[in-house]
Amino acid sequence: MLLKDEFDFIKRIKPKNIHQTSLKKGIGDDSAVFEGSSTFDELICMDTMVEGVHFTKQTMTPFMIGYKALAVNISDIAAMGGMPTYYLVSIAIPSDWTEKELNEIYAGMSLLGNDYSVDLIGGDTVSSKQGLIVTVTVCGRIEKGRSLYRDQAQPGDYVFVVGEVGASAAGLELLLKHGYNYPYTDSEKKLLQAHQLPEPQVEAGRILANANERISLNDISDGLASEANEIAEASNVELTIDYEKIPRSDYIKNYSDDQKKKWSLFGGEDYQLVGTMPKEAFTKINQTFNQKGVKLTIIGEVTTGHANVYITMNGKKERLHKQGFNHFK
């Protein structure tokens, strides 16, 4: 039987028994969490980028590939409220990639790693017959008991988004059509940058973790619709999102309504954050966000329900299905 859904597959392989008593959170969130020192818990996550699936030589330079491979993992640490500390890289190299290109991949990682004081501590290097494959594992830490899980949403909470969505998917569409050497406008270059060089929301995650409130959080890798559904499923609640309140990138405002809807709800790879918080916590948390110059937007609310997400558009309420990126659809 061919694999048809990555999320169902992940649910099926989730272990029913845990051997290590230090494990606090295994499969099912942005990072695994286990006990570390008396003051910190440890975080660990891993993502893979595959040539022809996540990138091609026409859409990203080697430097961008390395930068993004690390960024998407740091984003998972951010979604837990944590601080990234170390990373490991496993790279499978085909014969058509040069040593210069490979050095550029690691230069991209190094630049971002320096920005977040993350150290490269190991990995593996092998050959590949199917294209370049880059797998990055990032470790992090967070103050004990402060990890932000997807299962913390409760009826009465606000649904919020950190940052803006839609730009990355728009940038990818341009890249697939023209490649990265096309004479793009300045506005289009911003869309490309959102896709090629995403900025993880580590500072926002830290603000939320330090708020000492009951907050659920998820990073927007597979699309807002998909990530909101993950929170609804993990928390067993219903989320209702007001489409008009979703903070969309200014750089997609001149595109058609259908394009903006597709990119902002289902496009993915924005690596912003979506979550929930108690309504009474919003004012104080938003003050901190404003002080740091980070955009926090309320887009809906949580109600009692059956682990579904709904969206209101043009006076109508309809189900928002988990239609983001899925590797096997």
325 marked among binding-site residues: yes
Summarised one tens digit per residue, pLDDT across range 297-326 is 999 999 999 999 999 998 899 999 997 544
Q: pLDDT averaged over the chain? A: 93
37 marked among binding-site residues: no
The pLDDT of 35-43, averaged and rounded, is: 93
* CA torsion angle 284 286 291 295 (round to 10): 170
Give CA–CA dist 42/33, Å, rounded: 6
pLDDT score at 163: 98
222 marked among binding-site residues: yes
130 SS3 class = coil
Give CA–CA dist 279/64, Å, rounded: 39
Residue 141: pLDDT above 80? yes
Q: What is the CATH number of domain 150-319?
A: 3.90.650.10
Q: Percentage of the chain surpassing pLDDT 70?
A: 94
106 marked among binding-site residues: yes
Give CA–CA dist 308/302, Å, rounded: 10
190 SS3 class = helix
Beta carbons of 84 and 45 less than 8 angstroms apart: no
14 SS3 class = coil
242 marked among binding-site residues: no
pLDDT score at 317: 96
pLDDT score at 226: 97
150 marked among binding-site residues: yes
* Sequential DSSP letters for 7-54: HHHHHHHS-SS---TTEEE-BTBSSEEEE-SSSEEEEEEEEEEEBTTT
123 marked among binding-site residues: yes
Decide yes or no: CATH 1.10.3720.10 for domain 14-143: no
258 marked among binding-site residues: no
pLDDT score at 59: 95
| φ/ψ bin of 262: left (φ > 0), alpha (ψ from -120 to 50), beta (otherwise) | alpha
Summarised one tens digit per residue, pLDDT across range 68-92 is 999 999 999 999 999 999 999 999 9
pLDDT score at 30: 85
Summarised one tens digit per residue, pLDDT across range 129-140 is 989 999 999 999
Cβ burial 70-86 (10 Å sphere, 16+ → b, else e): bbbbbbbbbbbbbbbbb
242 band by pLDDT with thresholds 50, 70 and 90: very high
Compute how many other C-beta atoms are within 10 angstroms of the C-beta atom of residue 121.
12
The HSE-up count of residue 206 (CA atoms within 13 Å, CB side) is 12
Beta carbons of 220 and 276 less than 8 angstroms apart: no
* Residue 57: closest CA among 162, 181, 173, 198: 181
Six token digits for residue 218? 């998820």
11 band by pLDDT with thresholds 50, 70 and 90: low
Task: Tell me the H-state helices in 131-268.
Answer: 167-178, 186-196, 202-210, 224-235, 257-262
160 marked among binding-site residues: no
Beta carbons of 221 and 271 less than 8 angstroms apart: yes
Positive or negative torsion for Cα 6, 8, 13, 17 = positive
Beta carbons of 313 and 243 less than 8 angstroms apart: yes
Six token digits for residue 160? 């919020």
pLDDT score at 324: 56
248 SS3 class = strand
The HSE-up count of residue 146 (CA atoms within 13 Å, CB side) is 22
6 band by pLDDT with thresholds 50, 70 and 90: low
54 marked among binding-site residues: yes
227 band by pLDDT with thresholds 50, 70 and 90: very high
Q: Percentage of the chain surpassing pLDDT 90?
A: 86
Compute how many other C-beta atoms are within 10 angstroms of the C-beta atom of residue 198.
24
Q: Where are the domains of the chain?
A: 14-143, 150-319
Residue 96: pLDDT above 90? yes
pLDDT score at 323: 77
Residue 238: pLDDT above 70? yes
30 marked among binding-site residues: yes
> Between 202-210 and 282-292, two packed helices, what is the crossing angle to 10 degrees?
140
